[in-house]
Structure 1
Amino acid sequence: MKGLSKAHAREVEENRHYIKTIAEVLLLTAKNKIAQREHRCNSDDLNHGNVREILYLIAKKDRIVEKKLNGPRNARYLHPSIQNELLAVMASLVREEIADSLKDSPFSILADETKDRSKAEQLSVVVRYFYDQAVHERFLKFYKADSLDAASLTDYIFDVLSSLGIDKNECVGQAYDGAAVMSGRINGVQARIQRKVPTALYVHCMNHRLNLAVVDTVKNVAEAAEFFAKLEKLYVFSSTSVVHSVFERVQKEMSTKPVIKLKQLSDTRWTCQYAACKAVLQTLEPLLETLKLLSDGKNTERRIEANSILNFIDFNFLLSLVLFENILKRTQTLSNMLQAKDLDLASAVFLVRTVIEELEQVRNGDSTPTGSVQSSAIEKVWVDAINLCIKCGIETPDSGGDKPPRKRRDCRPPLKLRDSLIMETVGQRTQLCKKEDFIQHFVYVVLDNIISELKSRFSRDSLVVMEGIQALNPKADCFLNFQKLTSMAKFYGCNLEYLETELKQALVTLKRKEESEGINVNTVLEFTNFLQPYAVPFFELYRLCKIACVLPVSSASCERSFSALKLIKSYLRTTMTEERLSDLATLAIEFRLANKINMDQVIDRFASMHKNSRINLY
Structure 2
Amino acid sequence: MSKPLSGAQKRKKKQELEEKICRIPKITGFLLPTSGSSAQPSACGSSKEHASTCSQEEIPPQSVSEYGSEVNTVDSSDQPMSLETTPVPMEVEKPSFHNVEIQDATAEAVDIPPKSMEKSGFLTDIGLWPNSSTLEMREYWSKNGNSSVRKPLEKLRNEGFPKSFKDGRCCTADMFLRNCPNGDKVERKWLCYSNNTGRIYCFDCKLFSSSTNAFSSDGFSDWKHASERISSHEQSQHHIRAVIDTAKFSKLEGRIDYKMQQQIEELTTYGQNLVKRLLSVIVFLAERGLAFRGDDQTIGSPHNGNYLGILELLSEYDAFLAQHIQTKANKGKGCTSYLSANVCEELIQITGDKILEVVISHIKMAKYYSVSVDSAEDSSHTDQLTVIIRYLEENRPVERFVTFLPSTGHKGEEMADALLAFLNSVGLTIQECRGQSYDNASNMSGHYKGMQARILNMNKYAKYIPCFGHSLNLVGKDAANSCSEAVRFFNFVQALYTFFSGSTRRYKKLKDQLDMRGLSVSIPKKLSDTRWSCRADACQALVHGYDNIMDILFEFATDIEEKSECRNTAKGLFYQISKLETGIFAEFWNTVLQRFNSSSKTLQSVQLNLNAAVGVLKSLKDFINEQRTKFDAFEEAGKRLTDTEEYIVEHRRLQRRNVRQQPLDYGHSEEAQLTPKEAFYAKAFLPCVDKLLMCLEHRLGAYSEVCDLFGFLINFPAMDSESINIAAEKLSAFYKHDLGTTFGDELIQFQSFISLFLDEKPDDCSIEQFMYNTINDKDVRYTFPNTEIALKIYLTLMISNSSGERSFSKMKLIKNLQRTTMSQSRLTKLSIMSAESDILRVLDFSNITKTFAAQKARRLIV
Q: Do these two structures clear the TM 0.5 threshold for a shared fold by scoring above it?
A: yes
From 638, 653, 657, the equivalent of 1:410 is 653
Between the aligned partners of 1:328 and 1:498, the Cα distance in structure 2 is 47
Query: Aligned partners of 1:382 and 1:476: how far apart in 2?
Result: 46
Q: What is the TM-score with the length of structure 1 in the denominator?
A: 0.87
Where in structure 2 are the equivalents of 1:54-133 lying within 5 Å?
Answer: 54-72=310-328, 73=331, 74-104=335-365, 105-133=367-395
- What letter is aligned with 1:471? F
Tell me the secondary structure at the aligned position of residue 388 of structure 2: strand
Deviations 1:23-50 (A, max 9, x none): 1101110011110111444567432111
The answer as to whether partners of 2:295 and 2:303 remain within 8 angstroms in 1 is: no
CA contact (8 A) 1:18 1:65 kept: yes
Label 1:554 to 1:615 Cα distance change in 2 as closer, same or farther (>3 A). farther
Structure 1 SS opposite 2:448: coil
Alignment match of 1:171 (pick from 433, 439, 447): 433
Contact 1:15 1:615 in 2 (8 A): no
Partner of 1:256: 518
> Does residue 1:531 correspond to 2:744, yes or no?
no
Q: Do the aligned partners of residues 281 and 420 (structure 1) sit closer, same or farther apart at CA in structure 2, a change above 3 Å counting?
A: farther
Describe how 1:17-28 pairs up with structure 2 within 5 A: 17-28=273-284
Matched-pair contact (CA < 8 Å) for 1:75–1:615:
no
Query: What's 2:709 paired with?
Result: 468
Equivalence for 2:813:
567
Alpha-carbon distance in structure 2 between the residues aligned to 1:519 and 1:288: 49
Distance 1:609 1:150, change over 3 A: farther
Cα distance, 1:97 vs. partner? Answer: 1.3
Partner of 2:108: none
Gaps of 5+ in 2: 1-251, 662-670
Q: Secondary structure at the match of 2:370?
A: strand
- Name the structure 2 match of 1:307: 571
Q: 1:182 to 1:380 in 2, by over 3 A?
A: same
Q: Measured at CA, do residues 239 and 411 of structure 1 come closer, stay the same or move farther in structure 2, by a change above 3 Å? A: farther
Which segment drifts farther, 577-586 or 494-503? 494-503
Distance between the aligned counterparts of 1:577 and 1:178, measured in 2? 30
Relative to the length of structure 2, the TM-score reads 0.63
Closer/same/farther in 2, CA of residues 134 and 406 from structure 1, 3 Å limit: closer
TM-aligned CA distance change 1:518 to 1:610, over 3 Å: closer
Q: Name the structure 2 match of 1:372.
A: none
RMSD (Å), alpha carbons:
2.8
Question: Aligned partner of 2:434: which letter?
Answer: V
> Structure 1 pair 23/519, CA: closer, same or farther in 2 (3 Å)?
closer
Q: Deviations over 1:220-265 (max 9, x none)?
A: 2222112112212222222202432332232233x23456132122
Aligned ranges for residues 209-228 of structure 1 at < 5 Å? 209-228=471-490
Query: Deviation of residue 282 (structure 1)?
Result: 1.9
* Percent of pairs with identical residues: 24
Unaligned 5+ segments in structure 1 are: 364-374, 398-402, 422-427
Q: 1:467 offset after TM fit, Å?
A: 1.9
Once the two structures are overlaid, the 10-residue window that deviates more, 441-450 or 305-314, is 441-450
Paired with 1:316 and 1:474, the residues of 2 have a C-alpha distance of 45
Query: Relative contact order: is structure 1 or structure 2 higher (C-alpha 8 Å, sep ≥ 6)?
Result: 1
Q: Select the structure of larger CA radius of gyration.
A: 2
What one-letter code is carried by the residue in structure 2 that aligns with 1:128?
A: R
The structure 2 residue matched to 1:277, chosen from 519, 539, 542, is: 539
Equivalent in the alignment of 2:600: 335
Q: Is the 8 A contact 1:474 1:527 kept in 2?
A: no
| CA pair 270-125 structure 1, distance change in 2 beyond 3 A | farther
Correspondences of 1:144-293 after superposition (within 5 Å): 144-242=406-504, 243-253=506-516, 255-258=517-520, 260-293=522-555
State which of 533, 544, 549 in structure 1 corresponds to 2:795.
Answer: 549
User: Whole-Å Cα distance in 1 between the matches of residues 549 and 710 of structure 2?
Assistant: 49
> Is the 8 Å Cα contact of residues 268 and 850 (structure 2) preserved in structure 1?
no
Partner AA of 1:245 in structure 2: K
- Listed one character per residue, the Cα deviations across residues 334-389 of structure 1 (whole Å, up to 9, x for unaligned) are 111100001000111112111112222333xxxxxxxxxxx4x4333222222222
Q: Specify whether residues 506 and 519 from structure 1 end up closer, same or farther in structure 2 by C-alpha distance, changes over 3 A only.
A: farther
SS in structure 2 of the partner of residue 124 of structure 1: strand
What secondary structure does 2:756 align onto? Answer: helix
Q: Is the 8 A contact 1:250 1:289 kept in 2?
A: no
Please say if residues 385 and 408 of structure 2, whose CA atoms lie closer than 8 Å, have aligned partners that are also in contact. Answer: no
* Shift in Å, 1:486: 2.8
Pair 42,461 (structure 1): closer, same or farther in 2 beyond 3 Å: same
CA pair 432-271 structure 1, distance change in 2 beyond 3 A:
farther
Cα pair distance change 1:491/1:71, threshold 3 Å: farther
Cα distance in 1 for partners of 2:855, 2:443 equals 41
Question: One-letter code of the match for 2:625?
Answer: E
- In structure 1, give the amino acid aligned to 2:567: R
How far, CA to CA, are the matches of 1:432 and 1:271 in structure 2? 35
Report the secondary structure of 1:125's partner residue.
strand
Counterpart CA distance in 1 for 2:749 and 2:716 is 18
Show CA shifts across 1:314-342 (max 9, x none): 11111110011112222222111100001
Q: Which moved more, 1:504-513 or 1:165-174?
A: 504-513
Q: Relative to 1, partners in 2 of residues 1:124 and 1:225: Cα closer, same or farther, differing over 3 Å?
A: same
| Counterpart residue number, 1:424 | none
Structure 2 vs 1, CA of residues 22 and 456 (structure 1 numbering), >3 Å: closer, same or farther?
Answer: same
User: SS in structure 2 opposite 1:204?
Assistant: coil
Question: SS of the residue aligned with 1:114?
Answer: strand
2:621 to 335, 356, 381: 356
